[in-house]
Every structure is written in C-alpha cells, then in structure tokens.
Amino acid sequence: MLLEVCDIHVHYGKIAALKGVSLQVEQGEIVTLIGANGAGKTTTLKTISGLRPLSRGRVLFEGRDISRMPGHKRVLAGIGQAPEGRGVFPGMTVEENLLMGAYARKGDLSKDLAEVYELFPRLAERKKQPGGTMSGGEQQMLAIGRALMARPKVLLLDEPSMGLAPMLIRQIFEIIKEINRRGTTVLVVEQNAQQALQLADRAYVLETGRVVKSAPAAQLLDDPEVRAAYLGGDLDTGAPTASEG
Ligand SMILES: Nc1ncnc2c1ncn2[C@@H]1O[C@H](COP(=O)(O)OP(=O)(O)O)[C@@H](O)[C@H]1O
Ligand SMILES: [Mg+2]
C-alpha cells in the first residue's frame, strides 16, 4: 500500500473536524474523496501532507509511519500537494513558480519543466508572466504543475475544479488522468462528485468527519443514496438506462 490513513482524529481547538477517518491509496490508483462543504476533505489532505497535527490514529506512507514527520520531509518522501485556493506566488513568473516546486531537488530541471509544459501548453505560452496575473484556471494548472516539479509518488489535489468554467473543468480532469497514466498516483478531493467519480478508480464519501461509504467509483455513480445526496438525484450518464424512469 502506498498511502494508508488509519483512524485519524483531527481537531481545531475543541472542534473535532475528523472523527476517525481511514482510507487507503494503492500505487497507480486515482482515488477520490467526495463530500459536502465542511465534511473534512481539506483537513484530511492537510493531515496527510503534515500541515495539521493529528490527535489520534496514524498516516503510513510506503509502510512507514509518517504521522509525526514535518511537512517538508513528506514532500521529499514523495507526497506532493496542490493546495485548495492554489497558493501561487503572485509576484513570481510562471516559470519561477514551477521552479519553486523543485527547490529541494538538485540537478538539471529542464526535462521536468518540459514535461509540465507539455501537459499544460498554456503555461508554456506564459512562462514569463507573473503568476498573480493568470486566470483562475491557469493558476490551478500552475499549482498542479508546481507540485509535479517535486516528482511526487502521490499527488494530493484539493478541489482542482473549484471556480472553473465547465470546459476548463473537463480539461483539468483530463490532465489529471494523463498525469496518472504517466505514473503518478492521485488522491483528489472534490465537491464536484459527478466528475470526480467518473475520473477515479475508487472513492470515499466523507460526512461530518467520518467516512460513510467506500467503493469502486463506478459503483458509487449508481448508488441511489450517493445520487440523491451528491449527484442531484438523477442518473446523468448520457444515454438513457434501464434504471431510469
Ligand atoms: N482553521 C479552522 N479553524 C476552525 N475550524 C476549522 C478550520 N478549518 C476547518 N475547520 C472546520 O473543520 C471542519 C472540516 O473543514 P474542512 O476540512 O475545511 O472541510 P471541507 O474541505 O470538506 O470543506 C469544518 O467543520 C470546518 O468548519
Ligand atoms: Mg475544502
């Protein structure tokens, strides 16, 4: 198992944000964590990347307990994160932002830059432009590209579709799929359940700090409870199906 979260409890002051969350991510998978606003999705990712301390449970990476490891060491170990809200450095150019992602690495980075530019041609066109002047979608691409520069074994993505127009959402999900095809394991958190479930191999549903369901993503797309709570109730798979009407 590449990443294993075992019964983690996380608090903000006295408020319990996570009340015993467990999940697993295997090498090569795309796993999604879906749930409403406030369910604990961001907190789960922050606990995996070391930005929030846990009060109970543990996080294992490649079989090793990293629960107390500082965040920057987790990046070195292979845990990459593109944060919610993106965190692009506004005064730095696109290329400088990308290079920041590789600050801990030595040697020639031109091949890595070329790969990111191949995935995101838009960033290549704008490599000299300040990050802060990029559109929301471009900043999202930049945040993902920067995380890739650290050559993560697992990439954690916090709501990559947030605030993007439908066409850009499709594009971002396509790129995530391509990143995975090229060998990076992905854990993606989303409120956009429909598209996340279409992208992922497996999924977990989080409600008020607890995992309430876990299954192959395709199975959750057909799950009546999941449909009612997260997918607007109706089957929306394109063609009419037997279970419709
Ligand atoms: N900095 C914070 N201080 C206090 N409470 C927080 C903080 N961040 C998140 N929370 C609370 O923790 C819970 C989970 O939040 P979060 O992980 O951000 O959920 P999600 O990403 O699913 O929307 C929510 O009840 C939220 O109000
Ligand atoms: Mg969040």
What is the number of the ligand 1 atom nearest to the C-alpha of 209? 14
pLDDT, residue 239, reads 46
pLDDT, residue 244, reads 39
φ, ψ dihedrals at 88, nearest 5°? -70, 140
Q: What is the DSSP string of 33-80?
A: EE--TTSSHHHHHHHHHTSS--SEEEEEETTEE-TTS-HHHHHHHTEE
Contact 57, 9 (CB under 8 A): yes
Structure letter (DSSP) for residue 107: S
Element (H, E) at 18: strand 15-25
Four-residue CA torsion sign, 167, 44, 98, 29: negative
Distance of CA 230 to the CA centre of its chain: 18
Cα separations in angstroms, 238 against 113, 198, 241 = 37, 12, 9
**How far is ligand 1, taken at its centre, from the CA of residue 149, in Å?**
28
Which residue has the CA at smallest separation from atom 26 of ligand 1? 38
Q: Model confidence at 245, in pLDDT bands (50, 70, 90)?
A: very low
Contact 36, 231 (CB under 8 A): no
Residue 167 has pLDDT above 70, yes or no: yes
What is the number of the ligand 1 atom nearest to the C-alpha of 37? 23
203 three-class SS: strand
150 three-class SS: coil
| Mean pLDDT across the chain | 92
Q: Mean pLDDT, to the nearest integer, of 188-199? A: 94
- Superfamily assignment of 3-230 in CATH? P-loop containing nucleotide triphosphate hydrolases (3.40.50.300)
Q: What percent of the chain has pLDDT over 90?
A: 83
Q: Is 41 in the pocket of ligand 1 (CB under 6 A)?
A: yes
pLDDT, residue 49, reads 96
What is the number of the ligand 1 atom nearest to the C-alpha of 159? 21
Tokens encoding 229:
């709570």
Among 159, 164, 173, 202, smallest CA distance to 42 is for 159
Q: Model confidence at 107, in pLDDT bands (50, 70, 90)?
A: confident
42, 45, 157: which to mutate for ligand 1, most atoms within 8 A of CB? Answer: 42
The residues spanned by each domain of the chain are 3-230
More confident residue, 72 or 84: 72
Report the alpha-carbon distance of residue 198 to residue 30 in Å, rounded. 11
153 residue type, one letter: K
Among 161, 160, 136, smallest CA distance to 148 is for 160
Which residue has the CA at smallest separation from atom 1 of ligand 1? 12
**How far is ligand 1, taken at its centre, from the CA of residue 111, in Å?**
38
pLDDT, residue 238, reads 45
Between vectors from CA 154 to CA 187 and to CA 166, what angle results, nearest 5°? 45
Q: Is 47 in the pocket of ligand 1 (CB under 6 A)?
A: no
Q: Which ligand neighbours the alpha carbon of 39 most closely?
A: 1
What is the number of the ligand 1 atom nearest to the C-alpha of 44? 17
pLDDT, residue 133, reads 94
Residue 214 has pLDDT above 70, yes or no: yes
Contact 148, 80 (CB under 8 A): yes
Q: What is the pLDDT of residues 27-61, one digit of tens each?
A: 999 999 999 999 999 999 999 999 999 999 999 99
Contact 185, 28 (CB under 8 A): yes
